[in-house]
Amino acid sequence: MKDYYEILGVSRDASAADLKKAFRQLAMKHHPDRNPENNKESEEKFKEINEAYTCLSDPDKKSNYDRFGTAEGMGAGFSPFGAGFGDVFEDIFGDFFGTFTGQRRKRPAKGTDLRYDLDITLMEAAFGAEKTFEVPRWENCADCKGTGAAPGKAPATCPNCKGSGQVRFQQGFFSVSKTCGKCHGEGRIITDPCKPCKGQGRIKKYREINVRIPAGVDTDSKLRMSGEGELGLYGGPPGDLYIFLGVEEHPFFKREGMTLYCKVPVSFPQAALGAEIEVPTIDGVTNLKIPQGTPSGRSFNLKGRGMPRLGSHQRGDQVVIVNIEVPKHLTQRQKEILEEFAKINGDEVSKGFKEKLKDLFAGTKT
């Protein structure tokens, strides 16, 4: 009795995936057309491998084989090309030999999707915008109407495959079909090509696209325009256009989600005495009151002055951060005033700092 497990080189508890992997490797190795010097021997070995895999890959046959040493329906009349073998053969040898059985016509296929990267300003992201740009894509040639043949001419039937796109020939002990090398599976050839498209039937053109940018988008937001991609093949639908957005940096605002951050400079007198200052927002300039004694870095929240949520009327907040500016160039009068202020203020700040240092290092002396 033949040991199918030994033939495939697998254990008796091998999974379906292991069986298929072993069969694939052995079938490729022992195929008669890959061993022309030992064609007859390879043919027998190839049949034996097919027989083993056909049995072990079928749950019912495998069960009978494991219990009784035989599989129902597999006797002297067994054919390695029984039910299901065509699918297995095509899966393994389809790329090597072409289509195994029958004539496969090229089916309609959806066109390729296109990508376009579009930069917008923060204001356009905040309030939405209409944008127009051009996208290059393949379109049917207007001169030949997509046939590839010169105007008034028509593609001719391929004399090699008689229009089928496939040629059949003998491979060892069975017959197979493969794509016609003359027409590349088209079933027709162009003897008089169209000049504008050089026989391709398509020509690259720039198409103007208009798109509405919704309010609230951010960098890496993606918009999809159905049917604006490449044309489909063999009558298939066109692909889609995907627009990837990038929001440019703004001179005043830093964005984090729906929150806007803005640093506003104030003078020392304004921070010390308190003041009403002008603050930029995406809606325009607004006034903000800061209390006396405001330190540098303090933040104030402007509710509802941030970015909108995409697809909603809700808006985030704007955070205003006060930055006290120290003048670099002083007039003589300004120096005199500051010196007078220093005398009146005394050493108040430095005293507090020295007290903290004293407490910090009080227990370190020995």
Q: At what angle do helices 85-97 and 16-30 cross, to 10 degrees?
A: 50
Q: What is the mean pLDDT of residues 99-118?
A: 72
The answer to whether the pTM exceeds 0.95 is: no
Q: Which of 19, 1, 17 is nearest to 9 (CA)?
A: 19
Is 90 exceeded by the pLDDT of residue 211?
A: yes
Q: What does the H/E/C string look like for the chain?
A: CCCHHHHHCCCCCCCHHHHHHHHHHHHHHHCHHHCHHHHHHHHHHHHHHHHHHHHHCCHHHHHHHHHHCCCCCCCCCCCCCCCCHHHHHHHHHHHHHCCCCCCCCCCCECCCCEEEEEEECHHHHHHCEEEEEEEEEEEECCCCCCCCECCCCCCEECCCCCCCCEEEEEECCEEEEEECCCCCCCCEECCCECCCCCCCCEEEEEEEEEEEECCCCCCCCEEEECCCCCCCECCCCCCCEEEEEEECCCCCEEEECCEEEEEEEEEHHHHHHCEEEEEEECCEEEEEEECCCCCCCCEEEECCCCCECCCCCCECCEEEEEEEECCCCCCHHHHHHHHHHHHHHCCHHHHHHHHHHHHHCCCCCC
pLDDT tens for 43-93 read 788 888 888 888 888 888 888 888 777 655 444 334 444 444 444 454 455
Is 90 exceeded by the pLDDT of residue 241?
A: yes
What pLDDT, on the 0 to 100 scale, is given for residue 87?
A: 46
Question: What is the band of 350 on the pLDDT scale with cuts at 50, 70, 90?
Answer: low
What pLDDT, on the 0 to 100 scale, is given for residue 338?
A: 84
What pLDDT, on the 0 to 100 scale, is given for residue 53?
A: 87
Question: Average per-residue pLDDT in the chain?
Answer: 82
CA neighbours closer than 13 Å in the CB half-sphere of residue 260: 30
What pLDDT, on the 0 to 100 scale, is given for residue 63?
A: 82
What pLDDT, on the 0 to 100 scale, is given for residue 243?
A: 96
Q: How far is Cα 203 from Cα 149, in angstroms, rounded to an integer?
A: 13
Angle at the Cα of 305 from the Cα atoms of 301 and 307, rounded to 5 degrees: 115
CA neighbours closer than 13 Å in the CB half-sphere of residue 214: 13
pLDDT tens for 268-303 read 999 999 999 999 999 999 999 999 999 999 999 999
Question: Which of the two residues, 363 and 294, has the higher pLDDT score?
Answer: 294
For the chain, domains (ranges, CATH) are 4-97 (1.10.287.110), 104-142+204-248 (2.60.260.20), 253-325 (2.60.260.20)
